[in-house]
With several copies, the nearest count.
Chain A
Amino acid sequence: MTRPTDQDLIDFVIRETRLIDQHRFEEWLDLFADDGIYWMPLEWGQTDPRLTASLMYEDKLLLKIRVERLKGNRTFSQKPKSRCHHLLQTPQIEKRDESANQYVTWTPMHYVETRLDRQDIFAAWATHTLAVIDGGLKIKLKRVDVVNCDAAFGNIQLFM
Chain B
Amino acid sequence: MARYRGDVEAVKALVRETEVHRDVYIDEEVFALEMEHVFGNTWVYVGHDSQVADPGDYFGTTIGTQPVLMVRHSDGTVKVLHNRCPHKGTRITTETYGNTGKFFRCPYHAWSFKTDGSLLAIPLREGYDNTGLEQSHAARGMSAVRHVHNYRGFVFAKLNDTGPGFDEFFGESLSSFDNLIDRSPVGKLEVAGGVLRYMHDCNWKMLVENQTDTCHPMIAHASSAGTAIDVWKNAPPGAKKPMAVEIFAPFMSSYEFFEKMGIKVWPNGHGYTGVHHSIHSDYSAIPGYFEKMVEAYGEERAKAILGENRHNTVYFPNLMIKGPIQLIRVFKPLAADKTLVESWTFRLVGAPDVLLERTLVYNRLINAPTSVVGHDDLEMYERAHEGLHVDANQWVNIQRLYDPSEGPDATAVTNGTTEWQMRNQFRAWSKFMTMSM
Contacts and interface: CB of A to CB of B under 8 A. Distances in A.
A–B direct contact (CB < 8 Å): yes
Nearest to B221: A74
Interface of B: 93-96, 107, 192-201, 220, 222-224, 226-228, 230-232, 235, 242, 244-245, 248, 340, 345, 353, 356-357, 360, 363-365, 368-370, 372, 374-376, 378-380
Given A68-B227, A151-B197, A154-B201, A77 B379 contact: yes
Contacts of A156: 369-370
Interface of A: 40, 42-43, 50-57, 59, 61-62, 64-66, 68-69, 72, 74-77, 79-80, 116, 150-157
Most chain A Cβ neighbours within 10 Å, of B93, B94, B194: B194
Nearest to B353: A51
B378 A77 contact: yes
Contacts of B197: 150-153
Contacts of A155: 369, 374-375, 378-379
Given A80-B95, A156-B370, A53 B227 contact: no
Contacts of A150: 194, 197
Contacts of A152: 197-199, 340, 369
A54 B364 contact: yes
A61 B231 contact: yes
A42 B194 contact: yes
A74 B369 contact: no
A156 B374 CA distance: 10
A49 B226 CA distance: 26
26 contacts: A50-B360, A51-B193, A51-B353, A51-B356, A51-B357, A51-B360, A52-B360, A53-B360, A54-B364, A64-B231, A65-B228, A65-B248, A66-B372, A68-B227, A72-B222, A72-B223, A72-B226, A74-B222, A74-B226, A75-B223, A76-B107, A77-B375, A80-B96, A116-B94, A152-B198, A154-B369
B95 A79 contact: yes
Contacts of B193: 51-53
A69 B378 contact: no
Nearest to A71: B227
Contacts of B368: 53, 55-56
Contacts of B364: 53-57
A53 B194 contact: yes
